[in-house]
């Protein structure tokens, strides 16, 4: 659902919350991103302890209630009838907390079931976000245009409830992976694995992923507005609204978001195949971030027609899908073999660390847009992706140094007898 926020943002900006600033509107989506990620440190540890049903049911309840109650925040859904505080409370806070229950839940369970093909399995699972990124914006636009905001969002909440209920029922962890009992609830060691913090490759990797989320969602949240400002498309009318805003074509602006989310499916699957063949997802991450940086620097500000805009959304969508699909696989690559039972904890710690920049990044982009114009969003994303490229390369170098140090610390007799090192096991 967070991938569909660009469609909601366009409606809020043009119709329901026209008196709210860009920063306030970006805060709603940024809150979803933050809450999607930050509680993962708890969710990941609960998954290691096989408390998946508690997480699944809580996520189902919060997501349904969040979007159902959102339908009551704008009275009849007419122009400027939206209540910003209640919109933030329902779709930002409540729905965001519901999303985090399924976020770590999905990738963690799949990687457990397919340890030898974990990168491909994680990539296939992540395509669900791309499919949802197509279906939900289009469904939302259709429902609002035909039934109005209140009724349309109530129908949407029922769809959300149905899909999350399926995930809740089918999301069973692999019984072969040892269950780790929870310790004391208020003991930091229950939730934080100190060995992860001692790993320099892991720490740098978390910083890099944080920049990915802060940069990518800055573009995703503003792509429909960018298309309208540049004259690539028009905003559709809303029942009770004041008509469409003119553009240079009849192409609807929400299609640019749908294209970006749709092509992300290709990137998610392709990155999984490359990561499996190379036995190193961080190599793929480094390359895609460099290409994403170049596309944001050049395509976003220099696009002059619909063809260029569609090309940007297609390319950036594929690269973004790759970047967003790989983090859990990257953790699986970095985690030592003797800590595999801590995989959920390490993954959850990563997402919690990423959450702060996922909150701040889109808001920085909104502030830059207000100060320097729409092109500043592309430059901000390009800069973050370029910094991310360097950090991913650094993390990969540190991982190799850690493996080399571990190999040298093993007794020579063990190595000669055929015992594999972490690096050789990974390549196998």
Q: What are phi and psi of 218, to 5 degrees?
A: -65, -40
Residue 295: predicted pLDDT: 93
Alpha helix segments (H runs only) across 114-199? 118-147, 149-170, 188-191, 194-198
pLDDT at 240 over 70: no
pLDDT at 104 over 90: no
Residue 206: predicted pLDDT: 94
pLDDT at 23 over 50: yes
pLDDT band (50, 70, 90) for residue 246:
very low
pLDDT at 225 over 90: no
Q: What is the mean pLDDT of the chain?
A: 80
**Three-class SS of residue 382?**
helix
Distance of CA 297 to the CA centre of its chain: 21
254-270 pLDDT, tens digit per residue, is 788 888 888 988 988 88
CA dihedral 278, 280, 281, 285 (to 10 degrees): -90
Residue listed under structure tokens 């996922």:
358
Structure tokens belonging to residue 122: 């994680």
pLDDT at 233 over 90: no
Residue 286: predicted pLDDT: 94
Mean pLDDT calculated for residue range 208-235: 85
pLDDT band (50, 70, 90) for residue 184:
low
Quote the CA–CA distance of 266 and 249 in Å, as a whole number: 28
């Amino acid at each position: 659902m967070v991938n569909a926020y660009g469609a909601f943002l366009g409606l809020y900006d043009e119709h329901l919350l026209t008196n709210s600033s860009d920063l306030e509107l970006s805060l709603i989506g940024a809150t979803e991103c933050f809450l999607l990620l930050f509680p993962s440190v708890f969710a990941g540890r609960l998954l290691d302890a096989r408390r998946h049903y508690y997480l699944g049911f809580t996520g189902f309840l919060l997501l349904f209630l969040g979007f159902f109650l959102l339908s009551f925040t704008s009275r009849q859904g007419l122009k400027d009838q939206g209540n910003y505080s209640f919109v933030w409370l329902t779709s930002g806070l409540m729905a965001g907390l519901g999303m985090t229950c399924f976020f770590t839940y999905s990738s963690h369970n799949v990687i457990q079931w397919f340890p030898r093909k974990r990168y491909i399995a994680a990539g296939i699972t992540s395509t669900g976000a791309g499919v949802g990124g197509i279906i939900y914006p289009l469904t939302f636009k259709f429902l609002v245009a035909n039934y109005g905001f209140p009724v349309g969002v109530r129908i949407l909440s029922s769809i959300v409830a149905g899909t999350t209920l399926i995930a809740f029922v089918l999301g069973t962890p692999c019984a072969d992976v040892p269950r780790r009992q929870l310790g004391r609830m208020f003991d930091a060691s229950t939730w934080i694995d100190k060995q992860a913090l001692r790993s320099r490759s892991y720490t740098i990797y978390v910083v890099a992923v944080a920049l990915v989320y802060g940069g990518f969602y800055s573009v995703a949240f503003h792509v429909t507005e960018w298309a309208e400002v540049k004259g690539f498309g028009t905003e559709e009318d809303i029942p009770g609204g004041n008509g469409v805003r003119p553009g240079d074509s009849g192409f609807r602006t929400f299609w640019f978001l749908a294209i970006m989310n749709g092509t992300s499916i290709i990137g998610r699957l392709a990155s999984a195949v490359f990561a499996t063949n190379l036995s190193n997802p961080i190599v793929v991450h480094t390359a895609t971030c460099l290409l994403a940086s170049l596309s944001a620097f050049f395509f976003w500000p220099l696009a002059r027609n619909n063809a260029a805009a569609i090309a940007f959304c297609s390319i950036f969508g594929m690269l973004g899908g790759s970047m967003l699909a790989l983090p859990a696989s990257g953790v699986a690559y970095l985690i030592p073999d003797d800590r595999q039972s801590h995989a959920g904890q390490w993954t959850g710690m990563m997402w919690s660390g990423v959450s702060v920049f996922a909150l701040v990044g889109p808001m920085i982009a909104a502030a830059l847009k207000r100060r320097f114009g729409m092109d500043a969003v592309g430059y901000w994303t390009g800069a973050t992706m370029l910094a991310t490229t360097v950090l991913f390369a650094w993390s990969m170098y540190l991982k190799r140094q850690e493996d080399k140090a571990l190999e040298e610390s093993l007794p020579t007799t063990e190595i000669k007898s055929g015992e594999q090192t972490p690096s050789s096991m990974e390549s196998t």
